[in-house]
Amino acid sequence: MSERLWYLKNCDLFRQLSPEQLTALESRCRVRKFPRNTPIYLPADHADGVLLLAEGRVKIGSFSEEGKQTILAFIEPGEVFGELSLMGTPEREEYAEAVEKSTVILIPNDVIQQLLGQCPSVSLGVTKLFGLRRQRVERRLKYLLFRSNRDRLVHLLIELAEQYGKPTADGVELRIKLSHQDLASIIGSTRETVTVVLGELQTEGRLKLGRRKITLTDMDQLAHSVNVASPVLSRAQA
């Protein structure tokens, strides 16, 4: 079985497809590899299809005219991105960049469109995907509207802990390398403020800082301070 096929099969969206459909799909896809820190697509690029991340990690972001940038999402293996091309928009509105060495499968527009028409399971899957991402953006919007810079940062740390947290002797270590600038770009703040707030949280004993590394030592207190139930670390990796 081709590598490509395997990745397609392992994607939630296509799980329900028949072997024939899968092979047909596979034959129409292209695979590309991207080194670390290289762009996959840029704003105003031609939106030629939907992308499936096979390996690596991708970040989706957006620039303002003044050059400031925000990170909209991180994509993990098995997840789909660039899905706005399904809306019929001819151009991409954000950029995608490989954070790690990544391999990506491109599913051309006509192929996915056809699949959408034929397979209720795929179309249902896409609807769910859109809905989920929309919920996420809406939540983020609310945080931006209502909460202080500090609250937003704490909330982000908790979210990251849910997704990337690994329990250690000291506490929950975030297994994703993010600079203060990155954190700032996510919560819509500045590098300096993030540095300061993180410093405060450290002196308050809520976390420990390393270079591009954060360990949350008091999740309960952090979660409580932003009125969120302390998350149970569901899929903590070894």
The residue ranges that bind a second copy (CB under 8 A) are 62, 64-66, 68, 70, 72, 84, 86-87, 93, 116-118, 120, 123-124, 126-128, 130-135, 137-138, 140-142, 144-147, 188, 227
Rounded Cα distance between 124 and 169, Å, is 43
Residue 181 touching DNA (CB under 7 A): yes
Rounded Cα distance between 176 and 157, Å, is 11
Pick 60 or 172: Cβ nearer a second copy:
60
Query: Please, what is the minimum distance in Å from the beta carbon of residue 56 to DNA?
Result: 17
Applying the rule CB under 7 A, the residues between 161 and 180 that interact with DNA are 179-180
For residue 28, the surrounding DSSP H or E stretch is: helix 19-28
Rounded Cα distance between 157 and 104, Å, is 28
Query: Please, what is the minimum distance in Å from the beta carbon of residue 111 to a second copy?
Result: 16
Nearest to residue 87, comparing CAs of 24, 129, 53, 59?
129
Residue 209 touching DNA (CB under 7 A): yes
Query: Please, what is the minimum distance in Å from the beta carbon of residue 232 to a second copy?
Result: 20
Residue 70 touching DNA (CB under 7 A): no
Do 69 and 61 contact (CB within 8 A), yes or no? Answer: yes
Partner from DNA, a second copy, none binding residue 103, C-beta < 5-8 Å depending on class: none
Task: Give the number of other CB atoms < 10 A from CB of residue 6.
Answer: 11
Rounded Cα distance between 32 and 40, Å, is 9
Rounded Cα distance between 141 and 13, Å, is 27
Pick 4 or 180: Cβ nearer a second copy:
180
Partner from DNA, a second copy, none binding residue 84, C-beta < 5-8 Å depending on class: a second copy
- b/e per residue, 49-60, with b = 16+ CB within 10 A? bbbbbbebbbbb
Do 212 and 176 contact (CB within 8 A), yes or no? Answer: no
Binding-residue total with DNA (CB under 7 A): 19
Residue 193 touching DNA (CB under 7 A): yes
- Give the contact letters, 86-125, x = binds to DNA (CB under 7 A), - = no: ----------------------------------------
Residue 38 touching DNA (CB under 7 A): no
**Which one among 109, 113, 149, 221 touches DNA, defined by CB under 7 A?**
149
DSSP annotation of 13 reads: G
Q: Which residues bind DNA (CB under 7 A)?
A: 148-150, 179-181, 188-193, 195-196, 198-199, 209, 211-212
